[in-house]
Structure 1
């Protein structure tokens, strides 16, 4: 691995973190909060639907692919050093699950880290198997996942249409206190965490796909790598984007297809596009690229920070802007997204001038090494590829 290839991964990861906020910001800025999202109260206006289309599911899928790349790098590192696999990686997955649980309880209802942790345990036992075995697993799990999404979509489309106007928006997130919100997350754990049923199988497929794309040379500065990136761009941008645009405007019944089934295809196109543009870039990185790369290096800290800041800005226990600025949608939502992104891009750059890792990454690595009795830092590849 060259340093340039590592920077490409950090750049992609930073873009994925910024993009996930582009999806989540619509939840934070809704006066009803996650309760309205789960209740599917009404459809957004055409402009808001278009804006949501730009990010919905795509950067979650991109982040998931990159998690698979990180898993591949750690597997290679373990093999090179003669360390048993999965070995201590299972402790890493356990830490990730606990971290996701804390993040869910204290900050955000739609945390993805718990699902990632469960999927990574399965993939850890598959990543070193033959390409044929991995392909069978990907096809099998992918087929089950697609069938599940299809069945749920058929049920949503056949359900009686909502009459509308009969449900009152939830006031928990616009008027409720922080302890009340935490209590609601505990009480509604099963409902809020039901997304894991989709995140885990999607994660297994995309983790394995990210690993195999890495092995196929998608980040290599070679004709093989360039050809693979071109194919990904055609499939994701020329085919996936138009299909995803259709489902975005097709109505609430197509929500699962719009968020979970088509976005991974678009994410492959984004991966190919960003990797290609990064290869062609010359000279020193500009402010934007440097900021995104630094976010990628502190992805876990940035992910948690963006959700914490968005909560403090929008919810009633904070500034309560979701309720007071609701009449300015969607423009104030875009401003909130841009402001929060600028904040954690700036903070990540300033932090990395003095420290090697983000604050949460440092704490997390300490917890990972503590039971092993290790003080020595892991080698460079493991260090830059810790899953976010």
Structure 2
């Protein structure tokens, strides 16, 4: 059997609540800038929670032509914007490549929520007359984002979407990694996008009491690990990674950010929305990702925790962390970037992958902001970066994601 091919990252793109490109995103991340504020997409006063992490200073007309805007949902538009950044960053010239050598695997937890909500409202407002937009279904379906990316660049290789709730992007990255490893592609565009700050989606999460209700001070609402945390803060945006077979990248002189060494997924098989209380599935996934990477737990320098700031989820994740790394790991530093950019749901893994890759390149670990008193159920021996970013040599970073349905997705990155 041939040895699996090495896979590296050669392009990055980001559209986030704290920056509309990778540089701005990273600068605000390491400076502890919160992206939370009162919702502007609609009047949130009817719900328990009134705030979220929305995109800022973003005008889609500056990025896409009118026909594309009219025919696509914002989640697909976000995907196209971040992917254009990543492709430019990679320096790839697809006109000089076999179109079947490059594929797209994209993730979104909800897909075209804006479109769904708009069309159903219009249907109701017109006395239930069936006057649906002919683009309703194409705009709605989750696989349209990778489809549109392939059409824009003429990419004829592997193309599909993944859905595993908030583990979605890591699922997409894992699949893209494996297709290159197996020699089925030379380049894969992967990542995730979410445009779920709509009345229907937001209202659903609010009804579940999954969201923080700290309306008097939104910027401090996302407080992972804190004893007074009361739920997550919803975010929106997209992030793209260009993955490339190592030799292919090396031959063309590409800038290599790092290597994707391994990934894994497991299921908790426990509850529709809650994580396993002992982190059983997460523990297995983290260990499998390390085995897939041919790395030991002691070699991981940075854990980008899923850490959504929910009472149950943060505890179970830290239990899994102790199961994998021990209760006194002197090498591991933990951070929760959702404290600043909120929870991008299906796009969370992709944007947090960029945080891991930048940490490796810059040797800086972003902080966990807003956390004042660590929950007593979390071992005090765990090294969690609080308040300010920390300079530290980072060679290996692990990114955790967990989703409704019991999905656990872990990806490991390493410097080259």
TM range (shorter): under 0.3
- Give TM-score scaled by structure 1 length: 0.27
- Give TM-score scaled by structure 2 length: 0.25
Higher strand share: 2
Higher helix share: 1
